[in-house]
Amino acid sequence: MYFTLRRSSLWACNTVTTERVKGEHPRLNRDLVLDTAAELVKQQGVEALTMRKLAAELGTAVTSIYWHVGNRESLLTELVARTVAELGEIRPRGRTPRDRIVSLARTLRRELRAHPHLVALVHERGRTEQMFQPVAQALVHEVHAAGLRGARAAQAVRAVQFQVVGFVVLERYRERAPVQRPGEQELWDADTAGQDPALARALAAEVDVDRLFAASARALVDGLLGPA
Amino acid sequence: MYFTLRRSSLWACNTVTTERVKGEHPRLNRDLVLDTAAELVKQQGVEALTMRKLAAELGTAVTSIYWHVGNRESLLTELVARTVAELGEIRPRGRTPRDRIVSLARTLRRELRAHPHLVALVHERGRTEQMFQPVAQALVHEVHAAGLRGARAAQAVRAVQFQVVGFVVLERYRERAPVQRPGEQELWDADTAGQDPALARALAAEVDVDRLFAASARALVDGLLGPA
DNA sequence: ACCTGAACACCGTTCAAGT
DNA sequence: ACCTGAACACCGTTCAAGT
């Protein structure tokens, strides 16, 4: 049997928030709803963010939430915007523009991976664009410093953004799905790999995503800027 | 009021399949379930693939489906596998290995974009790995021909796969989400872009994904193989 | 071996009614 | 202005019962 938690029974349940458990219930407002929703997502993932669970967490009726945030869609949108704003500022490191661009890529990836709930949120809402934002300014600056101009510079900025975000999204997928890739082996043994056992071995092994990313980012930037 | 369609009332409804509408109902089997599910996804998207809609489409009870395919999860898994198998074989074009790798990347992207329901499916199920498969063999061959060996060759193969699939996934996101990027402008006007009006203009404009992909793929491959 | 309806435990959202 | 319960239209899945 399903029932919504009443405010008065909040103490009895496995609540997510810690600060609010023992005190009085403050008046419900938009910020409180959003904070609680964010906490829920952070601790139990986006799929746990249902209007009913959120209401239980807040100790209110489900319908009260609607008065403050409209509906689930706009709640998620607001949550994404907030989390993006919370991302640390991304500052480049390294001597050459080339190094600094690679460092920006690496830092953006680290930052996004440190907020997996954000990626999941964006995932769910289809607003990947927002994940591009944090490095935008810095990338423009560095690409310009590297000597690229006009449309070509813009394209380089976008290429790096797409690579990083695409990579992070793919990584998240891989983490969700269990390993199971049956029959992949046979693809490699046939032709070329037979002559190159080290290649065959490398392809059979688990992907080292950190190294793969580092190599990809470096290669892309090298390709974009031309030989040093 | 919700009710499931009975076999006898199939003719009366807006069914998705065309071939089966007027005929007798063949005996329900696994393949029929999968075919109908695939058709549903192709025409109305993954989100339309509910067990109940599928049952209505088949003219059976919802529960009958479970006997043949287990549950929704395994139904989707099987659907993904099938669609991957249906993808056309991807053959490289061009004179140099470098050109052929770029061509493989481009063709994989085109192939995946031609099956948007596949991407959506994989999306939903978190099995991105499978989208890598179609080009695997060919990529290994070309990377080897380009002179890369061992772990380095393997990494190049993966880098290209990740780039293409990541790009396609991102593209799909962007298509789902309406344009709306408020306040992006101000990021560019400030610093560097002020000195480079062409850059500012390019950044303000919509992204030309085809050109961006072409440039990215070329840059990545150049970076991976080193200067020609 | 295959198909059924009923039931269970969930969803998001609307709405009239309360204070 | 804010909060409520009841209700609606959906979900996926299980299960005992039929043929």
pLDDT tens digits for range A37-83: 999 999 999 999 999 999 999 999 999 999 999 999 999 999 998 88
3-state secondary structure A24-70: CCCCCCHHHHHHHHHHHHHHHCHHHCCHHHHHHHHCCCHHHHHHHHC
Q: What is the reported pLDDT for A128?
A: 79
Cβ–Cβ contacts within 10 Å for residue B183, how many? 7
pLDDT, tens digit (0-9, with 9 covering 90-100), for A168-185:
988 887 777 655 554 454
Rounded average pLDDT over B106-129: 86
- Interface touch A220/B216, C-beta < 8 Å: yes
- Distance from C-alpha of B63 to C-alpha of B45, rounded to nearest angstrom: 22
Q: What is the reported pLDDT for A178?
A: 58
Nearest residue, CA→C1' of C14: A63
- Interface touch A163/B163, C-beta < 8 Å: yes
pLDDT, tens digit (0-9, with 9 covering 90-100), for B41-62:
999 999 999 999 999 999 999 9
Q: Give chain A positions within 8 Å (CB) of B173.
A: 126-128
- Interface touch B159/A216, C-beta < 8 Å: yes
Q: What is the reported pLDDT for A191?
A: 62
Could you tell me which chain B residue has the CA closest to the CA of A178?
Answer: B127
- Distance from C-alpha of B93 to C-alpha of B95, rounded to nearest angstrom: 7
pLDDT, tens digit (0-9, with 9 covering 90-100), for B122-138:
877 767 777 888 899 89
Q: What is the reported pLDDT for A111?
A: 93
Tokens (6 digits) for B149: 């060996």
Residue A62 CB closer than 7 angstroms to strand D? yes
- Distance from C-alpha of A103 to C-alpha of A109, rounded to nearest angstrom: 10
> Strand D: which bases are under 7 Å from protein Cβ?
2-7, 9-16
How sure is the predictor about B13, in pLDDT bands with cuts at 50, 70 and 90?
A: very low
How sure is the predictor about B162, in pLDDT bands with cuts at 50, 70 and 90?
A: very high
pLDDT, mean over chain B: 83
* Residue A87 · residue A111 · CB < 8 Å: yes
Nucleotide nearest to A48 (CA to C1'): C11
Extents of the domains making up chain A: 90-225
Nucleotide nearest to B28 (CA to C1'): C2
Q: What is the reported pLDDT for B85?
A: 86
Rounded average pLDDT over B190-215: 86
B72 by DSSP, 3-state: which?
helix
Does the pLDDT at position B15 exceed 60?
no
The low-confidence residues of chain A, meaning pLDDT below 50, are 1-15, 17-23, 182-183, 185, 189
- Distance from C-alpha of A32 to C-alpha of A45, rounded to nearest angstrom: 18
CA A153-B153-B133 angle, 5° bins:
85
Q: Give chain A positions within 8 Å (CB) of B224.
A: 215, 219, 223
| Alpha-carbon separation of residue B174 from B171, B208, B218 (angstroms) | 5, 12, 22
Closest CA to B104 of B207, B220, B209: B220
Q: What is the reported pLDDT for A134?
A: 86
Q: What is the reported pLDDT for A22?
A: 36
- Distance from C-alpha of A52 to C-alpha of A185, rounded to nearest angstrom: 46
Residue A61 CB closer than 7 angstroms to strand D? yes
> Strand C: which bases are under 7 Å from protein Cβ?
2-7, 9-16
**Amino acid identity of B149?**
R
Tokens 């927002």 locate to A130
Q: Give chain B positions within 8 Å (CB) of A90.
A: none
Protein A65 CA to nucleic acid C15 C1', in Å?
Answer: 15
Length of chain B, please?
Answer: 228
Instruction: For the domain covering A90-225, report its CATH number.
Output: 1.10.357
**Amino acid identity of B102?**
V
List of residues 6+ apart from B69 with CB closer than 8 A: B30, B33, B34, B75, B78
Nearest CA distance, B146 vs chain A (angstrom): 12
Give residues 44-83 of chain B lying near strand D (Cβ < 7 A): 49-53, 62-63, 66, 71-73
Length of chain A, please?
Answer: 228
How sure is the predictor about B11, in pLDDT bands with cuts at 50, 70 and 90?
A: very low
Q: What is the reported pLDDT for B182?
A: 46
Q: What is the reported pLDDT for B6?
A: 33
- Distance from C-alpha of A77 to C-alpha of A69, rounded to nearest angstrom: 10
pLDDT above 70: percentage of residues in chain B? 80
| Alpha-carbon separation of residue A36 from A16, A30, A50, A81, A127 (angstroms) | 8, 10, 12, 15, 21
Does the reported pTM lie above 0.75? yes
Looking at residue B93, the DSSP 8-state letter turns out to be: -
Looking at residue A207, the DSSP 8-state letter turns out to be: P
Phi, psi of B114 (to 5 degrees): -75, -15
Could you tell me which chain A residue has the CA closest to the CA of B188?
Answer: A137
Q: What is the CA radius of gyration of chain B?
A: 23
